[in-house]
A and B are shown apart, each in its own frame.
Chain A
Amino acid sequence: MTTERKTLTHKLSADNLTLIRGERCLFEGLSFALESGGLLILEGRNGCGKTSLMRAIAGMLSLETGEVHWDDVPVEKQRQTFHGSLVWLAHRTGLKGDLTLVENLGFERSLRAVSNREPEEIYERLGISRLKKLILRSLSAGQQRRVALARMLLADVPLWMMDEPFTNLDREGRALVMELVEEHLAVGGMCVMAAHQDVEINAPTTRVTIK
């Protein structure tokens, strides 16, 4: 399966992106390109627009200038294909506090393509298999974060978009995230990550700094 996955390559590129929010220009003339197996790290101070850039890439914010391309086709022209190729780990987990882990992830399965990995195996890996019967509200922030990571692992998509993936995670959890990203990149996936902390991931890395 690993060799099979390597055959299909994708490309995410952006050209001359400018985003203005209210009176402020968050970034101007930003460009990058990312190919299968690559990692893109967005850096910058708090409030510099990392999350806004992510939302712009995902097509949720309209850009002043520039275009984001997926496989050399503008994202707006193929929103469904693009959204079918990505999974997004946002700052807020996007999980329902009143539902259990299984109910939450069960709903996610009907939204996008599902990988053929066993869910049990994924829960085990993330250390959340004991929490299956509990409603998410009763879990700690770090545990909820792990459930959100399970959503990424359950999806069979090439592009992972991670906004501050290390928030609320313990040291072990941070190492696990880096390990998971590394594995994902090794089989030809790609990852856009906004991060403060030092990221130690062994993969071709592009860094974009927002001033």
Chain B
Amino acid sequence: MNDQQREIPGILTGLVAMTKRDLLLAWKRPGDVLNPLFFFAMVCTLFPLAVGPSAEQLEFSGPGVLWVAALLATLLSLNSLFITDFEDGSLDQLLVSPQPLPVLVLGKTLAHWMTSGLPLVFVSPILAITYRMPLSVVGVMMLTLALGTISLSLLGSIGAALTVGLHRGTALLSLLILPLAMPIMILGANAVSLAAHNDIYTTGIWALGAYAIGSLSLAPYATAAALRISNE
């Protein structure tokens, strides 16, 4: 209790520990990680069966389908971001810890992205090839998906924090997030289509990057505030 001895661990320690804990939890419950991934793969494989397998049809709709599926898969996984912490009381423990809440939230969101967004990015080339996407465009698509899912995880964490105290807040969460998520999808899908037509696509990438940086710097604060409100 001597003040010289008592030292609160640094912010970075808290951030890393939070990310590590959530990654460990995801590792122990792989079902939660695989669910959105299966959803993503299923939508992308079912779509051609419904609209017909003609080559130009697939090339035309590929970027759009992949992006819509990625957006929905991410929304699906967002619901569980804070719910288990809320139920077992560890959210309360995070709220009374001396670590700044935005930092802990950022750690959690980072782990969420690594277990939901990043797997989508790595699975997407396989699905893109079935849509006859040329390899040069696949790279562009992976880049847009990577940037886009970062923004989606961060923006989604605000919605997840706001709806954490409500039972079955999934529908509300989607409604809250969709207006913010729509531009990401439009920019992403558009950039991929432009790349497929050998057009200038970098504007879209820059815009997505700006979106990601913007949400990276603002979303943790909004989420922390939302958590404090919904946990009252």
Contacts and interface: CB of A to CB of B under 8 A. Distances in A.
Q: Is this pair of chains taken from one and the same complex?
A: yes
Interface string B72-116: 000000000000000111111111111110000000000000000
A80 B98 contact: yes
A70 B29 CA distance: 41
Contact of B89 (A58, A83, A93): A93
User: Which bucket holds chain A's interface residue count?
Assistant: 35 or more
Interface string A46-73: 0000000000001111100000000000
A143 to B, nearest CB: 15
A27 interface: no
B198 interface: no
B17 A95 contact: no
A173 interface: no
A192 to B, nearest CB: 13
Nearest to A93: B89
Contacts of A92: 87-89, 92
Contacts of A4: 2
B88 A93 contact: yes
A110 to B, nearest CB: 4
Given A61-B232, A94-B92, A5 B2 contact: yes
A105 to B, nearest CB: 11
B88 A156 contact: no
B132 interface: no
Interface in B1-39: 1-3, 5-9, 13-14, 16-18, 20-21, 24-25, 28-29
Contacts of A97: 88
Contacts of A5: 1-2
Contacts of B57: none
B90 A95 contact: yes
A197 interface: no
Contact of A96 (B3, B88, B98, B99): B88
Nearest to B20: A107
A196 interface: no
User: Which bucket holds chain B's interface residue count?
Assistant: 35 or more
Contacts of A157: 1, 6
A110 B232 contact: no
Contacts of A60: 92, 95-96, 228, 231-232
Nearest to A79: B98
A189 B6 CA distance: 14
B81 to A, nearest CB: 15
Nearest to B1: A5
A156 B96 CA distance: 15
A36 B20 CA distance: 36
B96 A83 contact: yes
B210 to A, nearest CB: 32
A8 B88 contact: no
Given A83-B96, A96-B90, A112 B2 contact: no
| Interface-centre pick from B1, B88, B97, B232 (highest chain A CB count, 10 A) | B1
B105 to A, nearest CB: 14
A80 B100 contact: yes
A113 interface: yes
A149 to B, nearest CB: 14
Q: Which 6 A-B pairs have the closest CB atoms?
A: A92-B89, A84-B98, A110-B17, A94-B89, A94-B93, A111-B97
17 contacts: A5-B1, A7-B2, A8-B2, A80-B8, A90-B93, A92-B88, A92-B89, A96-B21, A98-B29, A107-B20, A110-B9, A110-B17, A113-B8, A113-B9, A156-B5, A187-B1, A188-B1
